[in-house]
């Protein structure tokens, strides 16, 4: 009993990982960092999915990584939402980075409500990117964020502690950021082998 399965269909479902880097998808959501784009499948952030940024401490380079994307989205008049950021986004610096503040929205929420708010924003489909800083979140919570991002076709970014690197996560992309030297390590990227060596930022 052998059903004939088209190879193309199998590859499209991404159930078979194909060696080599010939994923031909258009770079729809480039990160703005050429080196990083080169190693990510699809040439940028995974679309309609959750990406995790793992940091030793808040302030270890997450803005440097995200600013090009946020600037590109806000300039294209797409809404970016920060749900309960750990510090105040300093408006002059965000302007210097090219972010159009008219399309940036801050949501203040307690830790418990923040997850709900992030999920609602992702699911609504009216926000291009949603950033959140979940502290205590379990696998189920992450899965909900991932599903919400898929439903709303938004970019979800969750900044978490580097301690979570060993725990499995349903996020499509996991990046670890090192404060010094400023570099990014790809821990997991759906659809391709994670790049082995760290990439310098900026």
Partner 1 sequence: MRWACILLTRLALDGVQRGRDDADAPLVLVSGHVPRRLIRAVNAQARALGLRPGMSLTAAQTLVTDFAVAEYDEQQISHWQHFLAAWAYRYSSHVSLDYPHALLLEVESSLGLFGPWPRFEQRLREDLTGLGFQHRIVLAPNPAAARALTNVHDGLAVMDSLALREHIQRLPIQRSGLDAQSVATLSRMGLKQLGQILRLPRDTLARRFPAEVLAHLDRLLGVLPVALGSYQPADEFVARIEFNFEVDSHQALLFPIRRLLLDLQAFLAGRDCSVQRFELTLEHRDHEPTCLPIGLLSAERDAQQLFEVTRSRLEQLQLPEPVLAVRLRASDLPAFTPKPVSLLEERPPPVQPWDQLRERLRARLGDEAIHGLVAVADHRPECAWRRDTEGAGMPPAQLGKRPGWLLAEPEPLNELVPEILAGPERIESGWWDGADRRRDYYVVRTRDGRLAWVWQAVDGQGPWMLHGWFA
The footprint of partner 1 (CB under 8 A) covers 56-64, 67, 79, 85-97, 101-109, 113, 116-117, 119-121, 123-127, 151-153, 178-181
Show Cβ contacts of residue 85 under 8 Å, excluding neighbours closer than 6 positions. 106, 131, 133
CA dist 134 and 170 (Å) reads 15
Q: Which is nearer to partner 1, 91 or 200 (CB)?
A: 91
Count of alpha carbons within 13 angstroms of residue 131, beta-carbon side: 21
Q: Cβ 194 to partner 1, closest distance in Å?
A: 23
Nearer to partner 1, 142 or 192 (CB): 142
Nearest-approach distance from CB 107 to partner 1, in angstroms: 6
Round to whole Å and give the CA distance between 191 and 168.
16
Q: How far apart are CA 109 and CA 103, in angstroms?
A: 19
**Minimum distance of partner 1 from residue 34's CB (angstroms):** 21
- Specify whether the CB–CB gap between 183 and 201 falls below 8 A: yes
Closest approach, Cβ 174 to partner 1, in A, equals 18
In whole angstroms, the minimum distance from the beta carbon of 53 to partner 1 comes to 11
Coil, strand, or helix at residue 77?
coil
Q: Which residues contact 196 (CB under 8 A, 6 or more apart)?
A: none
What is the C-alpha to C-alpha distance for residues 45 and 156, in angstroms, rounded to an integer? Answer: 10
The two three-digit tokens of residue 60, written as one number: 């270890």
Q: How far is the CB of 14 from partner 1 (least distance, A)?
A: 21
Q: Measured between alpha carbons, how far is 94 from 105 in angstroms, rounded to an integer?
A: 13
């Amino acid at each position: 009993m052998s059903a004939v399965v088209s190879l193309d269909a199998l590859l499209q479902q991404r159930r078979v990982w194909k060696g080599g880097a010939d994923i031909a998808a258009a770079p729809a959501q480039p990160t703005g960092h050429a080196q990083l784009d080169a190693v990510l499948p699809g040439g940028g952030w995974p679309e309609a999915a959750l990406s995790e940024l793992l940091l030793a401490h808040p302030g270890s380079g997450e803005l440097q990584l995200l600013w090009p994307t946020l600037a590109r989205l806000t300039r294209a008049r797409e809404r970016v939402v920060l749900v309960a950021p750990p510090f105040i986004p300093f408006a002059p610096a965000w302007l210097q980075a090219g972010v159009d503040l008219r399309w940036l929205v801050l949501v203040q929420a307690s830790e418990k409500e923040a997850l709900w708010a992030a999920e609602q924003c992702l699911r609504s489909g009216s926000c291009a990117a949603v950033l959140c800083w979940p502290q205590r979140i379990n696998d189920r919570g992450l899965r909900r964020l991932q599903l919400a991002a898929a439903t709303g076709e938004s970019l979800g970014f969750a900044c978490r502690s580097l301690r979570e690197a060993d725990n499995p996560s349903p996020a499509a992309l996991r990046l670890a950021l090192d404060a010094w030297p400023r570099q990014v390590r790809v821990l997991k990227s759906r659809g391709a082998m994670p790049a082995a060596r760290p990439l310098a930022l900026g």
